[in-house]
Structure 1
């Protein structure tokens, strides 16, 4: 097991799961449950370390607290290729759920590599999942773009802070899955210009703007963004070349640590709004802040998905959940930027202090601080 750092917030539990008869290997980190049972996604990938799982769980602790949800933070990783045959994937997801059935402090949700259907399998096995298909009373987070809806409202407030209009603003989106594609759609509807999009296969860009409807059609057929049609000004590159595309807003919406100390100087933008969890190292974020680039932290900006999940867990309707996402994201981003304006601090510092206070107050009300 990769070494992780324990502190006053946790992690409360770290569980490794292994069942060779079905090829099951997984990790669960329940970071902190002082505010309530943890909600966190099941990430399916072959290469996520225990340390990374912990970092993602900690981000969920702060995200849920910052959104003022009655939940702690957790994260789980199911090791494997998410593109494996459906029957094999279903067997692994069901086995993983059964292995963790007794960990009642963790509520399963969708994440990279898992979706509403996977959560339906989990619910069928243990009755404890959010982000469920509509057919069984859920709110399908990825289908409706809950995280992206929150990003849109975070971006609107950030644009107000920079005294810029969203219409006409140029945007690059790194990661064009469930979060990225809905973000592109929502922003285009507001008049923003999507100048670049990237997925694991490569980057497509055009300074005059890409046709978002064509990108969405490509993704509907499970194609890569580099299948975008040829045209004046359209260029292609590898997956990382999106870092070099000049834009007003750069949105990471894929894997962790895509912006690091060794590539941060390549970014040509005035704002980074994080659709992914932990997409930047702290050093890179500090460098951007010193350059005057506004960075809206991940656990503030991309909280729409977990807010929707929590509303579903409480029995709210889809429409009510979307209204709450807009309300909470608008308030939280304004609150963080007000602190930044007054204290001249890193936005992440302002956001973490706000979340820390909420978690600490909850811990102070318990007999044991973490359980």
Structure 2
């Protein structure tokens, strides 16, 4: 294992701060690498999920960790018990379908145990489910994948029980932890519609990816009246201009978000996976993989809004071209931030183990954040991403000032 550590204040002129810590771990069995990047520590702790995919790189994890810093700061509210953490991320260069994937996960978590115990709270991300992580954590004799945060809690036993109770809740057949992130994405999209004076009933959406994030996004958009006219999974795209039966597809999907083709209606059509960019719609939700919208791809998009449920799906040159066509991109660190926030709201007691409280908190927080950034974007002529980064900068300064005053 090799590490590099630099203070976050060491920067090139005009550049983003360097990460606080980078860990490159090499698997002694396969020779493949795993990574942990801590972008920023607040009160000694950083938060960010762990992904597993073939080809995962340090640069990728570094970018995701910086995004987590933004997600955390974005939800700062001095009235909450939860105070945002720093941002971090983990990644393993291994396909989740590899026969030794679980073994490599165990070796990786054991290898970075010292960081996990003290400074990094993590959970499921692309290619990994929380129950898989929890199982490996238990086998290694670790307490939890989020144990680094426990010293910050007023009543650890009560907080852990509240989070465990929340994880046991199901809403219409889907676990609450698998819904809150997509609810946040849907609320971001609905807020954008409302900001521009568009009714949900007049809007169509296409969702790429039907796992926990994409599936929940489709559910809550459909319940608001948006027609879900396309859903893409790893096997292809399913379209229906009249609207797909989202609830049926949710109840019958496989654990990795694959659609059960036997549940399609006679009006549903199947197309190749890459056709998802070509379907006419108002809302396009990339909810599967990073870097899937490039400069050439963006020309195929007819949507008015790209709402980033996946991490880093739109390349910068594509986003610039979309902005030139008046297509709003709601950035990932805004749109998909609700899962992370809900974990901490629940653990710190800002919401109880209650689906209604969780939904209300996610909706109100996301609506406030997206309204603020779109208003700022309109006022200043910025893109939504630029406006969101301005909000993050302001809230980060507030957090730093608070801890300076409390120290």
Contact kept? 1:25, 1:78, Cα under 8 Å: yes
1:297 maps to what in 2? 331
Shift of 1:150: 0.8
Partner of 1:100: 112
Give the Cα–Cα distance (whole angstroms) in 2 for the partners of residues 116 and 346 of structure 1. Answer: 34
Structure 1 pair 342–122 and aligned structure 2 pair: CA distance change class (3 A): farther
Equivalent residue for 1:287, pick from 289, 310, 321? 321
SS of residue paired to 1:114: coil
- Structure 1: any 5+ residue segments left out of the alignment? none
Q: TM-score, normalised by structure 1?
A: 0.87
Aligned length in residues? 362
Shift of 1:143: 2.9
Give the Cα–Cα distance (whole angstroms) in 1 for the partners of residues 167 and 255 of structure 2: 23
| C-alpha distance in structure 1 between counterparts of 2:233 and 2:299, whole Å | 21
> SS state of the match for residue 56, structure 2?
coil
- Is the 8 Å Cα contact of residues 286 and 313 (structure 2) preserved in structure 1? yes
1:213: how far off? 2.9
What displacement does 1:157 show? 1.1
1:9 corresponds to which residue? 17
- What is the distance in 2 between the residues matched to 1:162 and 1:268? 17
Task: Report the Cα offset of residue 135 of structure 1.
Answer: 9.6
What's the CA shift string for 1:119-161, capped at 9, x where partnerless?
3235533324259999955637983211011112212211111
d(CA) in 1 for partners of 2:19, 2:212: 28
Distance 1:364-1:121 versus aligned 2 partners, 3 A rule: same
- After TM superposition, the structure 1 stretch with the greater mean CA deviation from structure 2, 336-345 or 315-324, is 315-324
Q: Contact conserved, 1:203 with 1:226, CA < 8 A, in 2? A: no
Partner of 1:20 in structure 2? 28
Verify: 1:331 aligned to 2:371, yes or no.
no
Equivalent pair of 1:204/1:226 in contact (CA under 8 Å): no
Q: Distance in 2 between matches of 1:136 and 1:260?
A: 40
The answer as to whether partners of 2:162 and 2:346 remain within 8 angstroms in 1 is: no
Give the SS at the match of 1:203: strand
Q: Is 1:189 equivalent to 2:223 in the alignment?
A: yes
1:264 aligns with 2:278: no
Counterparts of 2:305 and 2:193 in 1: how far apart (Å)? 9
Of the structure 1 ranges 31-40 and 357-366, higher mean CA displacement relative to structure 2 is found in 357-366
Change (3 A) 1:236 1:170: same
Tell me the distance in 1 between the aligned counterparts of 2:325 and 2:379: 19
CA contact (8 A) 1:307 1:321 kept: no
Partner of 2:175: 143
1:64 aligns with 2:64: no
Deviations 1:245-297 (A, max 9, x none): 00011111011111111210000111111111111012211221221112211
The Cα of 1:111 is off from its aligned counterpart by 0.6
Match in the other structure for 2:352: 317
Higher relative contact order, chain-length normalized (CA < 8 Å, sep 6+): 1
In 2: Cα distance, 1:122 partner to 1:314 partner: 25
Shift of 1:302: 0.9
Match of 2:132 in 1: 118
